[in-house]
Amino acid sequence: MQDYLQIKEKFNSQINSVQDLNSLELLEQEYFSRKAGEITLLMRGLGDVPEEERKEKGQKINELKVAMVQSIESKRLELKENEYKKIIETESIDITQPNLPKHESGHLHPITLVQNQLEDLFTSMGFAIEDGPELESEYYNFTALNIPETHPARDTQDTFYIKDHAGWVMRTHTSSMQVRAMQSNDLPMRVIMPGRCYRNESTDARHEHTFYQLEGFVVDENISFANLKGILEVVAKNLYGPEAKIRLRPKFYPFVEPGVNGEVSCFLCESKGCRVCKQSGWLEIFGAGMIHPNVLSAGGIDAQKYQGFAFGLGLDRLVMLKYGIEDIRHFQGGDLRFLKQF
């Protein structure tokens, strides 16, 4: 009974002076740890107590234990509450602080949006998509496309030649991928090749030194001009709605024969004539034609047996018409006020 009373007194004075949760934890250990807690030891010692006393002593110890556990728990609550109070007192919100900018997530460039839309359309028609180099050999950009070194078409597609690297140019069109794709694909072929192109232009609202095209071609047996027209009609309707019509007019490109210049009916004025279509009712958006036999041969394809058509869509033009953008230079300008509208 001696130790019992001593423990009770000692504990009571200790718990009164506990100031923080850490010391409370230590105090709890001192009496209740499984190995050497004073109460634990006392309970364990009951085995040695003569039987007549055991019951009574056990009860007393148990009462003490319950009382101690209770005071520890209520002390714990009290200390926690004090801690919260302290936090609330010391921490404050500065309501005069300006609203910090939230993290903005970016989004796709309008040209990318339209490119993605067309990629979805063409893959749904069984076309593969191929990527190619922007720094291109003169061979793939010109020579393989039936444009020999002295041909005036090289002047109309003047571009950036690479200093100290004769024979290399920044590609002037995605047609540079035609022969590459013929060399790397099996027949029959249906491929589109979107990408960035360059020309040595003095820039204005309709011309830019850096622009985007989407090239496509099909090579198979029995391919005709009607197939070309069919595909381009699907493209026009996909971009500008079911009412869109296309018009093809002869135009010379050395790598196609016959070659055409493709226009789509002006969706703004329904072909009545307006500022955007320059009163003509039609908008020029692509070049196309039946692939020249010389180009097929350069691609290692038997031009007697196979035919194909090719087209090149000017992506910047398509996007300008789709969104009513008046100046091509916005695309590369990096002005967020422009870009954020899409």
List contacts with ligand PHE (CB under 6 A): 173, 175, 253, 256, 259, 287-289, 310-312
Q: Which CB atom, from 159 or from 175, has the smaller least distance to ligand PHE?
A: 175
What is the rounded distance in angstroms from the CA atom of residue 341 to the CA atom of residue 233?
29
Q: Which CB atom, from 212 or from 253, has the smaller least distance to ligand PHE?
A: 253
Q: What are phi and psi of 312, to 5 degrees?
A: -130, 115
CA 286 to chain centre: 28
257 is in an annotated binding site: yes
Give the pair of three-digit tokens for residue 94: 């500065």
Q: Which CB atom, from 11 or from 140, has the smaller least distance to ligand PHE?
A: 140
Do β-strands 307-314 and 256-265 pair in parallel, antiparallel, or remain unpaired? unpaired
Give the pair of three-digit tokens for residue 225: 């001009």
* Minimum distance from residue 173 beta carbon to ligand PHE (Å): 3
What is the rounded distance in angstroms from the CA atom of residue 111 to the CA atom of residue 97?
39
* Minimum distance from residue 342 beta carbon to ligand PHE (Å): 25
SS (H, E, C) 189-246: EEEEEEEEEECCCCCECCECCEEEEEEEEEEECCCCHHHHHHHHHHHHHHHHCCCCCE
* Minimum distance from residue 314 beta carbon to ligand PHE (Å): 8
* Minimum distance from residue 157 beta carbon to ligand PHE (Å): 7
Burial 133-149 (b: 16+ CB within 10 A, else e): eeebbbebbbbbbbbee
Q: Which CB atom, from 30 or from 257, has the smaller least distance to ligand PHE?
A: 257
* Minimum distance from residue 95 beta carbon to ligand PHE (Å): 60
Tell me if 215 sits within 8 A of 177, measured CB to CB: yes
What is the rounded distance in angstroms from the CA atom of residue 67 to the CA atom of residue 8?
10
CA 45 to chain centre: 71
Residue 128 is classified by DSSP as: E
Residue 47 is classified by DSSP as: G
Q: Which CB atom, from 157 or from 265, has the smaller least distance to ligand PHE?
A: 157
* Minimum distance from residue 127 beta carbon to ligand PHE (Å): 15
CA 340 to chain centre: 16
Q: Which CB atom, from 266 or from 288, has the smaller least distance to ligand PHE?
A: 288
* Minimum distance from residue 335 beta carbon to ligand PHE (Å): 27
Q: Which CB atom, from 281 or from 289, has the smaller least distance to ligand PHE?
A: 289
Please, where are the H alpha helices in 91-168? 110-124, 138-141, 153-156
Q: Which CB atom, from 30 or from 284, has the smaller least distance to ligand PHE?
A: 284
What is the rounded distance in angstroms from the CA atom of residue 78 to the CA atom of residue 119?
67
* Minimum distance from residue 310 beta carbon to ligand PHE (Å): 4
Binding residues: 257
Binding residues for Mg(2+): 257
